[in-house]
Amino acid sequence: MMTFDSEVELMKVARAHPKAKLVLRIATDDSKAVCHLSVKFCAMLKTSRLLLERAKELNIDVIGVSFHVGSGCTDPETFVQAISDARCVFDMGTEVGFSMYLLDIGGGFPGSEDVKLKFEEITNVINPALDKYFPSDSGVKIIAEPGRYYVASAFTLAVNIIAKKIVLKEQTGSDDEDESSEQTFMYYVNDGVYGSFNCILYDHAHVKPLLQKRPKPDEKYYSSSIWGPTCDGLDRIVERCDLPEMHVGDWMLFENMGAYTVAAASTFNGFQRPTIYYVMSGPTWQLTQQIKNHEFPSEVEEQDISTLPVSCAWESGMKRHPTTCASASINV
């Protein structure tokens, strides 16, 4: 089974694998997504019928429709329109002579709790749309691609400060005399945008550091920036955040680092990818064993799950102390 969105792709499949089961990928309005995908992959509705007719001429079986509203979707109504469009393409397929039975609604689902649009808000919109356009008796199998939803919160990245630089604000060219005597700090850590933090460049991620060491109640905070270890000036992780003075050897934690991070990391400048450690709390271990042994009591399922850690920093029992970040993005 494979997707297609052009006649050229159809011709290629006809030559190389004429018995393939094909899924037509259609365009969506991904203007309100963080990462746009339709600009690269899609067939417009007005060309979908032509592609279906061409597939029929080539005797290639089209079994369904797929779409993706874009990674980091911020408008659940986008799913409604995409599902409606998919229904139109299913009807086209029936008219052309296909018996289509698969709908792939793609991804775009959030993977952490610190987002404006919650997973439940999206499903509250998707489910009625599916009931309307693809009811349970329609014979259509519905699948999704919730990759980020499953893995984002599964990883917490721990980085170590390997270097530190003190910069007086007067050296930055500030015209504010009151600020000229203040100092800011630049911290260099052992991972960066060529490693796990490539998500800042390619996934529009906004990361926020947590401190492993608890600050003193009266400790002063300074304007700080966090940088990766490579020679590239672009290797900046956090543009500005407020931190107590930290030292070489101290640790910072970054939660929700499971999606589009280590998978795309490189070894640029000879820096190796981070070592991965697997941790699990006692309650989670007990629950997984119940599931494994088919002893999962349905009547307490929701209660048990709600008490489990929401990220692996919680899971490991790491102490986490929040910081204030005015900007955790990078300008490219």
What residues are labeled active site? 231
The radius of gyration of the chain's CA atoms, rounded to the nearest angstrom, is 25
Max Cα distance, the chain (Å): 77
Written as six digits, the tokens of 81 are: 């329109």
Helix ranges, the chain (H): 7-16, 45-57, 77-96, 119-133, 147-151, 198-202, 282-292, 301-306, 312-316
> 192-213 burial string, b = 16+ CB within 10 Å, else e?
bbbbbbbbbeebebebbbbbbe
CA-wise closest residue to 263 among 170, 183, 148, 174: 148
Strand segments (E) across the chain:
2-4, 21-25, 33-35, 61-66, 71-73, 102-104, 141-143, 157-168, 183-189, 210-211, 221-227, 236-244, 251-254, 321-322, 324-327
Tokens representing 246? 């930290």
Sign of CA dihedral 159, 276, 157, 269: positive
Three-state SS at 205:
coil
Answer whether 187's CB lies under 8 Å from 246's CB: yes
Residue 224 and residue 158 in contact, taking contact as beta carbons nearer than 8 Å: no
Q: What backbone phi and psi angles, to 5 degrees, belong to 287?
A: -70, -40
